[in-house]
Amino acid sequence: MARFLRNPLPPTSDYMVGCGVLGFLGDRVRTKNTNTSDRGASLVEFALVAPLLFLLLFGVIEFARLAHGFTTVWTAAREGARHVTTVGDSDGDGLPNYLDCDSIIEAALGNVAGMSLTAGDVGVVYDDLTGTPAADCDPVSPLPAPGPGSADIDSGFDITVQVTGTYDAIVPIISRFIDGIDLTSSQTRSIFKGVVGG
């Protein structure tokens, strides 16, 4: 047992190579050569995987922009329809808000960010009690436009504000699939003439 404690490891060639200055340098040389070949393999693997990672990253960004575009169109339609239900004359032209096409379109476009929407992208249609279109704000439409004291627009009529925008993608590869998508949202509210809470 005393012999075992004095010399715990037998003097083999593996033990001798690992000890001393020469063994230490030999280990470092072997490690360096191994790391060089691993580094080259890692570079090749990254070169193969990087395009897929970037495509995934830019795809996520592009679909987030698409969701933002739809949210913008939806919000614009909601704000235009909400403006119809407010009482009064917001721009002082003598027309109540539910008859003032310009103020409805202005309210719809007032909160648009990140998309280029114009007044031509906003449609306003008045439906009578049976659901038949009675008037609209399109100047080239055969339907009459709502006017001052409009007898043709009555309480209980529905007004629909529809906003349509086109999505423009910015990433070339992904734009083949989602560029030019029409984003459309409609919001409908009921018209009640008179003063609320009066």
Tens-place pLDDT, residues 53-83: 999 999 999 999 999 999 999 999 999 999 9
* Per-residue CA distances from 170 to 50, 72, 116, 180 (Å): 20, 18, 15, 11
Q: Domain for residue 177, yes or no? A: yes
Residue type, 17: V
pLDDT at residue 148 in the model: 57
Q: Is residue 13 part of a domain?
A: no
Q: Is 189 helix (H, G, I), strand (E, B) or coil?
A: strand
Single-letter amino acid code for the residue at 140 = V
Taking residue 124's Cβ as centre, other Cβ atoms within 10 Å add up to 22
**Does residue 108 lie within any of the structural domains?**
yes
Q: Which two tokens stand for residue 187?
A: 């919001």
Please indicate, yes or no, if residue 195 is contained in any of the structural domains. Answer: no
pLDDT band at residue 150 using 50, 70 and 90 as cut-offs = low
**57 is a domain residue:** no
Residue 198 in any domain: the answer is no
- What stretches of the chain show up as alpha helix (H) in DSSP? 2-6, 13-18, 20-85, 101-109, 172-178
Please report, as a single letter, which amino acid is at residue 63.
F
Residues 6 or more apart whose Cβ sits within 8 Å of residue 114: 65, 68, 69, 72
Say how many domains are in the chain. 1
In a domain, 79, yes or no: yes
Beta carbons within 10 angstroms of residue 45's beta carbon: 10
Is 9 inside any structural domain? no
**Cα distance between residue 74 and residue 42, in whole Å:** 47
pLDDT at residue 10, as a whole number: 56
Name the band, by pLDDT with cuts 50, 70 and 90, for residue 198.
Answer: very low
For 101, the domain range is: 65-190
Mean pLDDT value across residues 110-127: 89
